[in-house]
Amino acid sequence: MSSLQPVRGTHDLYAEDGRRHRHVVETARTAAETYFYDEISTPIFEFSEVFKRTLGDVSDIVTKEMYSFTDRGGEALTLRPEGTAGVCRALVSNGLLQNLPLKFFYHGPMFRYERPQKGRQRQFHQIGVELLGVARPQADVEVIALGARILDRLGIRGRIALELNTLGDTESRQAYRQALVAYLSGFKDGLSEDSRMRLDRNPLRILDSKDAGDRRIVADAPLFSEHLNEASKSFFASVTEDLDRLGIEYRLNPHLVRGLDYYCHTAFEFTTDALGAQGTVMAGGRYDGLMEMMGGPATPGVGWAAGIERLAMLAVAPQAQRRPIAVVPAGEAAHGPALQLAERLRAAGFTVDLGYSGNLGKRMKRANKIGAVAAVILGEDELARNGVTLRDLDSGEQEALPLTSLEERLARYR
């Protein structure tokens, strides 16, 4: 029955997939805490204007991919397609801009209507960080270093390359934009339909086009580096020098851009060739003009976002779920004491499964089926002597124990 199937482009997280997902989030959260980042969680839907202002009316996300709807009160709402806009909105809404600088880590689901493929879903999940209130290049280096540390702790840093570019300040960007439009206008008829639409309103996005014809034209386009003023060159030099100091390797990519006007200076991506064409696993940059575009005060910012699904596909598999200890009551009289014993062991830090029904044989079969490491059997004989029978389910060995020494004997199974 189709109504009982997941919606196309969504998936359920459980078992190993769920453990991989949690492993990525917990690894990233722990690393972010070492950089003194606080965690923030914003609503999964916002007023549509939050994203239309920040993503641009001509961006693919706004025109083709956003899940937008009108609620019963007539409000135009959108399921969040990315995390940065919501974090910036939260700073304004909650009066947090008085406390700058602020550093946040987030994780959660995002939503975009696009063709589902390996590592890319319509409901997908991201981790991300935002550092707001610091205009110095030190902030750019910090968020890149944090990203690299997370990838290292996931065991995948060696398979991932850092690509780096500078978009310069507003003056440099405007100079480059004029040069780029002048160049591309001479090839207008050869550009794809999307790129022709972007030529006047968002020409930098053409540099990132995947269309083969566009890529041939862009190959000889003017370079951003040729239009940087001295302030922009100095900013980028500080970023690269500090990355060198930290031993973080990178390669310059002059075609790495961000198309919207509030992006400036550093742009970066962590990429891999282990996932086919969809090689970006983490992407970010500086967005000093974003807060103003949202109607707030001028506030410098820099951050990144990474797809949890892609990271989980690459990451070293986390340890399997801990094998439990099975508490097995034999007979109705043992039900109450077994219930109390299970809670006692859980309070002591053990993972415990207490079967719900069945005779001793069925309960032992369940213990083996769930991969229990040991069974604590509690029957009439055990109750009479205030003890238990402990059976190692790997070796089959068993022994009688007094209840008072049970935790000590089970310590080897932690």
What pLDDT is attached to residue 59? 56
What pLDDT is attached to residue 206? 85
Q: What are phi and psi of 143, to 5 degrees?
A: -70, -35
Cα(223)–Cα(220) distance, rounded to whole angstroms? Answer: 9
pLDDT band at 202 (very low <50, low <70, confident <90, very high): confident
* Angle (deg, nearest 10), helices 193-201 and 170-185: 140
Tokens of residue 59, six digits:
């961006």
Contact call for residues 279 and 271 (beta carbons, < 8 A):
yes
Is 164's pLDDT higher than 70? yes
**What residue type is 372 in one-letter code?**
A
pLDDT band at 57 (very low <50, low <70, confident <90, very high): low
Domains of the chain: 2-169+229-314 (3.30.930.10), 325-413 (3.40.50.800)
pTM: 0.88
**What residue type is 202 in one-letter code?**
N
pLDDT band at 259 (very low <50, low <70, confident <90, very high): low
Residues 6+ away with beta carbon under 8 Å from 342: 327, 352, 354
What pLDDT is attached to residue 114? 80
| Long-range contacts of residues 65-72, Cβ cutoff 8 Å, at least 24 apart | 65/112, 65/113, 65/114, 66/111, 66/112, 66/113, 67/111, 67/112, 67/113
What pLDDT is attached to residue 2? 59
Is 60's pLDDT higher than 70? no
| DSSP track, 155-206 | T-GGG-EEEEEE---HHHHHHHHHHHHHHHHTTGGGS-HHHHHHHHH-GGGG
Determine which helix (DSSP H) or strand (DSSP E) holds 82, and give its type and residue range: none
